[in-house]
Chain A
Amino acid sequence: MKRRKKKQNRIEEWLEIPKEISTQKPKLTTMGFEELFIENYKAILEYQDFYIRLSTHIGIININGFSLKLKEMTNDDLLVTGKIESIDFEKTVEE
C-alpha cells in the first residue's frame, strides 16, 4: 500500500500535476490582509463575524479577524474578505 502510493507520486511529479489536485491538501492564498482564498476544503465547522473554522482533509484551519464575510462559496473553494488577524492550523493526528 505504502509502496503504491509512492509510485503514484512519482508519476504525478513527472506529469507536473499541481499538488493541490494530486494531494488533497488545502491551498491558501492571501491578498494583503483583507482577502484569503482557500481551495480544497471539506466543510465549514463554524462561521461567525470574528471567527471561521474550516475542516480540511489534513486538519482544521482557524481564521480570526473582524467583520469576516464569505464573498464567494462553492463546493471546493472559498473567498474570505474582512480584517484577517491570524490564521492557525490544527493538524489531525494520523494513526
Chain B
Amino acid sequence: MYIQILKNYLLGYVRVTIEGYFIERLMNLCLKKGILLWKSNRKKSTLLETNVSIQDFKRMVKFAKQSKCKIKIKQKKGLPFLFHKYKKRKIFFFFLCLVVAGIVFLSNFVWNIEITGNVKIAREEILETLKQEGVNLGIPKSKIDTKTIIQKMRLDRDDLAWVGIEVKGTNVLVKIVEADKKPEIIPENEYCNIVATKAGKIVKVNALNGTPLVKEGDVIQQGTTLIGGWLEGKYTGLRYVHANGQVTAKVWYTTTKKIPLKQEVASKTQNKETKYSVRINNFTINFYKTLSKFQKYDTIEETKKWKLFSNLYLPIEIVQKTNQEIIEEQITYTTEQAKQKAIEEARKELEEQIKDKENISNTYINYQETEEYVEAQVTYEILEEIGTKEKIVF
C-alpha cells in the first residue's frame, strides 16, 4: 500500500474534486478497475476530494462521464510536475550538474589527514613519515594501500606499538598507539654489572648476586658501577656472574628561577578584530586589509576545513584571523612577592619532572637577592632506585 503511494509520488499524482450525485458509483467503478484512491474526503454530500495518480486520472475521466460526475483538478503534485516547473531553467540545471560532478570528482582524493593517539610523537613527524610512504593531501584515494603503509611505518619507527589507517570519505584517519622504549634485557646467562643511572647519595645497597662496590653514604656520579658482576673466593679465584640487586639512593632535583623585580607584562584588552580569508590549496583570497588597526597585538589563526558530511572534506579552507589588542604595563614586585613567585614557578617545573611525589624526603630552598632580580633555587630530595644492568664487555 505505502509502496504504491510512494510510486505514485514519484510518477506524479493529482488531487481532484468530484462533483455529482452518484459519487459512490464512480468510486465502486474505480475500485473494480483497480484505480487507487487515497486520502478521500467528503466535503459535502455532492462533493468528494481525493488523490489519484496521473495515469489513473485519464481512465477516471472516462468513468466520471459514465456516472455523470464532474472532475476538476485541484492540485498537481509529485516529481514530474516539479521537473516541469524547472524545465526552462537550463543554465541552473547545468550548473547544478557541474557542482555535483565536481563534488564527485573531488571526493576521489584525500583532503584531510587526522592523527589521533600521539602523545610524545609530534604530529608533523608522523605527517612526514606518511609523506614518504606517499600519503599526502591531494593524492587519489585509490593509490593508498593501507596494509603496506602500516607495515612500512612499523618497520621504520620502533616507538609505534600499533598503527591503524582508515580511509573514510576524503578523510584519512591515522590511529597510533605509542610504545614505551623497552630497557635492554640481558639474558640470565650473560655477565653484567649494576650501574647508577643518576648521581646521588647511597642509602641502601642490597646485593643479591655480585660484589657491592659502594657503601651507604657514598656520593656517586652517573655511570658509577654499584654492584660488580664478579665474585672472588679464596679458592675459586675470580669468577664472573650476572649481578643482581637493588640500590636505593637520595637523588637531588634542582631548578633555579630568576624573577626580575621590574617586569613588562602584556595584558589583553577588550578590543578584537576578526578577519576571514579563503584558502584553496595554497592560493589565498583575503577579504580584508592586511594592516591591523592596533599597534600591538596577538594574532590567532584558526583554519577550518570545509566539509560536506562528517567525513567528506573538500580542499577549501576558511582561515579566521583574530587580532587581540595588547597593552604592555610595567610592574614592579617587592622582593617578598618576587621570592614567592620564583618558588612557585620552580616547584611547578620540578613537579612535572618527578613521577612519584610520595618519595620526596626533603626540600631545600635557597635565595639570592640583588637590586634587579631575585633568584630562587629549589631542590627536592627523593629516594629512588638507581641501578640498571649493564653488560660487561671484555
Interface residues of chain A, those whose CB is within 8 Å of chain B, are 43-49, 68-75, 77
The answer to whether B24 and A71 touch across the interface, beta carbons within 8 angstroms, is no
* Chain B residues near A46 (CB-CB < 8 A): 24
A73 vs B36: C-alpha distance when bound (angstroms): 6
* Central interface residue in A44, A48, A77, by most chain B CB within 10 Å: A44
B285–chain A nearest beta-carbon distance, Å: 55
Interface presence of B23 (CB below 8 A): yes
B39-A47 in contact (CB<8A): no
Chain A residue at smallest Cβ distance from B42: A49
Q: B238 — which chain A residues lie within 8 A by C-beta?
A: none
Residue with the greatest number of chain B CB neighbours at <10 A, chosen from A43, A45, A46: A43
Residues of B within 8 A of A48 (CB): 42, 45
> Is B281's CB within 8 Å of the partner chain A?
no
Which 4 A/B pairs are nearest by Cβ-Cβ distance?
A70-B40, A73-B37, A43-B28, A49-B42
Interface of A is mostly: strand
- A48-B45, A72-B1, A74-B1 known; A43 vs B31 contact (CB < 8 Å): yes
Q: Are A73 and B28 in contact (CB under 8 A)?
A: no
Q: Which residues of A contact B43 (CB under 8 A)?
A: 49
Q: Is the CB of B34 within 8 A of A44?
A: no
Which residue of B has the minimal Cβ distance to A43? B28
- CB within 8 Å of A: which B34-71 residues: 34, 36-43, 45, 48, 50
Q: Can you pick out 15 interface pairs between chain A and chain B where the beta carbons lie within 8 Å of each other?
A: A43-B31, A44-B28, A45-B24, A47-B24, A47-B42, A69-B39, A69-B40, A69-B41, A72-B1, A73-B38, A73-B40, A74-B31, A74-B36, A75-B31, A75-B32
Within 8 Å CB of B165, what residues of A? none
Chain A residues whose CB sits within 8 angstroms of the CB of B27 once the complex forms: 44, 47, 73
Task: Name the B residues within 8 Å of A74 (CB-CB).
Answer: 1, 4, 31, 36
Shortest CB distance B24–A (Å):
5
Most-contacted residue by chain B among A45, A47, A69, A73 (CB, 10 A)? A73
The answer on a CB contact under 8 Å between B42 and A73 is no
Expressed in whole angstroms, the minimum distance between the Cβ of A47 and any Cβ of chain B is 6
User: Which residue of chain A has its CB nearest to the CB of B27?
Assistant: A44
Residue ID in chain B nearest A45 by CB atoms: B24
**Min CB gap A72→B, angstroms:** 5
- Find chain B residues with CB under 8 A from A72 CB: 1, 5, 36, 38-39
Residues from chain B with Cβ under 8 Å of A44 in the complex: 24, 27-28, 31
Please, which residues of chain A bring their CB within 8 A of the CB of B39? 69-72
Residues of A within 8 A of B45 (CB): 48
Q: Apart from A47-B40, A47-B48, what are 19 other A-B pairs with CB-CB below 8 Å?
A: A43-B28, A44-B24, A47-B24, A47-B42, A48-B45, A49-B42, A68-B42, A69-B39, A70-B37, A70-B41, A71-B38, A71-B39, A72-B36, A72-B39, A73-B38, A74-B1, A74-B36, A75-B31, A77-B1
Tell me how far the C-beta of A76 lies from the nearest C-beta in chain B, rounded to whole angstroms: 9
Chain A's closest residue to B34 (CB) is A75
User: What separation, in Å, do the CA atoms of A31 and B211 have in the docked complex?
Assistant: 92
Closest to A41 in B: B31
Q: Closest residue of chain B to A82, judged by CB?
A: B41
| CA gap between A74 and B42 in the complex, in Å | 17
Tell me the minimal C-beta distance from A81 to chain B in angstroms. Answer: 9
- A77-B4 Cα distance, complex, nearest whole Å: 14
Binary CB contact string for chain B from 1 to 39 against chain A (1 if under 8 A, 0 otherwise): 100110000000000000000011001100110101111
- Residue with the highest number of chain A CB atoms closer than 10 Å, among B31, B36, B39, B48: B31
